Amino acid sequence: MLITSTRNPQIKALRALRMRKHRERQGRYWIEGIRIVEEALTRGAPVDMLIHAPELLVSERARGLVAQSEGIASLAVSEEVFRALSQRDDPQGIAAAVRIQDRSLAEIPADDDLLVLIGYQLRTPGNLGAIIRTADAAGATAVVVVEPSVDLYDPRTVQATMGSLYALPVVRVREEAALLAWYAGLRARGLALRVVGTSAHGDRLLYEVDCSGPLALLIGSERDGLSPEVRATADVVARLPMAGGASSLNVSAATAAVVYEIVRQRWAAARGAPTP
């Protein structure tokens, strides 16, 4: 049955997912586009419903996703209805509602290769999404989002991850005490965890800091950076060199630069080369 009315109760519920309060009430969020839907299905994300518009499914790949989604509730809608749901200028005719899956710090694999990116009070969906994508690309272990922060399940955040949201654990932490207890627990188990903060006014250049062991990387908000209280939880606060006129970088760009210096150091250490 093809749904052709935007007044349909299911369509109203899906459209409401644009707002955080409705995502929390329904316990699910909206994703859209061939690539991210494919990632969600391939990586076993808890997809609640697949939504598709047959008139817009010009891609064989998209039609294949619909055909292969056996066991998942499917909703066929008209092009007009899909465009009313879509937040894209060029909708590809396929989307999904995915159940919110709260992850815990205990789910993060902890070993000598541990690399966790911890974002404090990030305010921009695109930045959080890009940081998650960078973490995935660099082979990080997990991402932790410390509340209050931009919603992890905001459609703009999810879109910016380009599917990396499903590639590694992304954990929301509502109280910093839980994070500090997690650090303590790892160290009690014998893990030589190092907590490294990042700041344009860091005490040391990143290139002087040994990042070859298990590490938690603290990332501050776009406007204020890390608070003094959070800086105090770090073993060292590092900065990137700024040789030009700019005094700082966008937080997602800075995070990418820092993470790939960590990757470089680990690559060198694995081959017996010296690290700072």
pLDDT for residue 116 is more than 70: yes
Q: Between helices 34-42 and 60-68, what is the axis angle to 10°?
A: 30
CA distance 30 to 88: 12
pTM of the full structure: 0.92
pLDDT tens across 86-108, in order?
A: 988 899 999 999 999 999 999 99
Q: What's the length of the chain?
A: 276
* pLDDT confidence band for 271 (50 / 70 / 90): confident
* pLDDT confidence band for 115 (50 / 70 / 90): very high
pLDDT tens across 30-66, in order?
A: 999 999 999 999 999 999 999 999 999 988 998 999 9
Separation in Å, CA 202 to CA 99, 179, 235, 242:
39, 22, 12, 12
How much is the pLDDT for 46?
95
pLDDT for residue 248 is more than 80: no
pLDDT tens across 142-180, in order?
A: 999 999 999 999 999 999 999 999 999 999 999 889 999
Those residues whose C-beta lies under 8 Å from the C-beta of residue 228, and which sit 6 or more positions away, are none
How much is the pLDDT for 239?
87
